[in-house]
Structure formats: structure tokens, C-alpha cells
């Protein structure tokens, strides 16, 4: 059940972020659903490897490079999912920050219910 609430909160967060007009767009609800699933897989398999390689830079920037890594994962999803697009690294980083706040908050609320 936990994975479903994570996926659902990510999908809702991506839908909201794509409507904010910050450089992230989704052409359909299906694209958002697929993108949230792919983002979960990317965060499960690829993100730990990228974080390990970028650990010195993350330490040097006191953890702020982690947001860039999250943005890169969002960019990777946009390359893999047709109908979901991210226009640049800046939009990806801002979108990743907003997505983390939205999906984390929603996931916390759903766990309380």
C-alpha cells in the first residue's frame, strides 16, 4: 500500500507542477501517470548511483547539489516519457523542489489517514 500512496502523491504533484507553467508540461493525464511511475523507477535504480558519484560535490555544496540531482532525474524522465517535457535544467530543479514539497506533504497526509 505504501508504494501506491507514493506513486499517487507523485502523480498528483507532477500534475500540479505541470500546470504551474514553470517549464514543465504534460500533454495528458496518461503522461503524468506514466511519468510518475518512471520517476519512481529512476529514483529507485539510477538516483542512488548518481548520488554516489556526485558525493564529493554534494558535500562541497553542503547538500544543495542534491536538488540538481533531483532535477536531472526529472529531466531523464522527460526524455523517456513521450508527452511529458521539461524545458531546461533550471525548470527541472525548480520543479523538483516544488514536487518534493507537494508530493511529500500529500504522502504525509495520506499516511495519517
Rounded Cα gap, residues 74 and 68, in angstroms: 10
Task: List the domain range (segments joined by +) for residue 101.
Answer: 2-112
Rounded Cα gap, residues 103 and 97, in angstroms: 10
C-alpha cell at 63: 547538500
The pLDDT assigned to 106 comes to 96
From first to last of its 113 residues, the chain has per-residue pLDDT tens of: 888 999 999 999 999 999 999 999 999 999 999 999 999 999 999 999 999 999 999 999 999 999 999 999 999 999 999 999 999 999 999 999 999 999 999 999 999 98
Total tally of structural domains belonging to the chain: 1
Q: Give me Rg for the CA atoms of the chain.
A: 14
Rounded Cα gap, residues 41 and 43, in angstroms: 5
CB 30 within 8 A of CB 94: no
Amino acid at each position: 500500500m505504501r508504494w501506491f500512496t507514493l506513486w499517487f502523491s507523485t502523480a498528483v504533484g507532477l500534475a500540479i507542477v505541470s500546470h504551474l507553467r514553470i517549464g514543465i508540461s504534460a500533454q495528458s493525464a496518461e503522461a503524468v501517470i506514466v511519468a510518475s511511475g518512471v520517476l519512481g523507477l529512476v529514483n529507485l535504480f539510477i538516483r542512488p548511483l548518481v548520488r554516489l558519484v556526485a558525493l564529493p560535490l554534494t558535500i562541497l555544496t553542503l547538500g544543495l547539489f542534491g536538488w540538481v540531482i533531483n532535477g536531472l532525474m526529472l529531466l531523464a524522465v522527460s526524455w523517456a516519457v513521450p508527452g511529458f517535457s521539461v524545458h531546461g535544467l533550471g525548470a527541472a530543479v525548480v520543479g523538483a523542489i516544488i514536487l518534493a514539497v507537494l508530493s511529500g506533504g500529500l504522502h504525509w497526509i495520506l499516511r495519517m489517514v
